[in-house]
Structure 1
């Protein structure tokens, strides 16, 4: 399997696993065991997606967007680590306020990382401009939603679904690329 195919596969499998874990199996009201599996699946989906983004960053070469792509990956790694803390607090039945605060901050970092990655794509001009702008819009919308309405408004789901669609689109474009 080539590096290009692996990167694309990570960007396709990661979001699908994340959607299955966080949005399908993970809604409130399910039994505790199912929620634990859902959180683990969601985490691994996010980790695979970040791995795919790192592969895209490595394929960028020494272009003008590389520094932004590196920053985006760092923000996303910190964000996924915070999501792990949020999931751990949920799993052990800890204080919900602590889990929500950690989740808002970590998800906001992940979403801001999406926006920064979109800026990297725009600067580097190695990706369709509409997909690059979609990364920026989804990332900024998600960061704003996390700062204002993380647990009180369902508008964050536009950012969740948008980030998954953006990653899937990037995965498909990566696999279909000629290089």
Structure 2
């Protein structure tokens, strides 16, 4: 019998597809990595797992902890997917411009979603990033990944996406 231990084992190893129209009339090969085939339907699944695993290793995220993040949706989905498997709670802060579908998807994965006005200026208390930072400070045993500056975000691609492309293109 062959099966995967959990859905996180399905992240990565996405196929490459040749884009013919882009190269019509020129001698080039352009390939697209089909990251939409990850379980959360985006490249952000990789960084969600990467940031959570880094926080676990560093002792910043402990069992029963809560992940609090500002997101427009896809990073939140990547984090929520991994959090659901690993048993963490999630609170995501989004603007009212974010799609209802992404908010519903996050809730379906067990996350709480806080909506802030898109009109809130960066640095003001109502801005979605400021709100997420405040909630993280107010929530015991919480972890604020800060996707915009977390080193595990690009590191995920260095460790996984890059080597996959190298292998798939045979160098």
Larger Rg: 2
State the structure with bigger RCO (CA 8 A, min sep 6), 1 or 2. Answer: 1
TM over 0.5: no
Given the two structures, how large is their TM-score scaled by the length of structure 1? 0.30
From the two aligned structures, give the one with the greater strand fraction.
2
From the two aligned structures, give the one with the greater helix fraction.
1
Given the two structures, how large is their TM-score scaled by the length of structure 2? 0.32
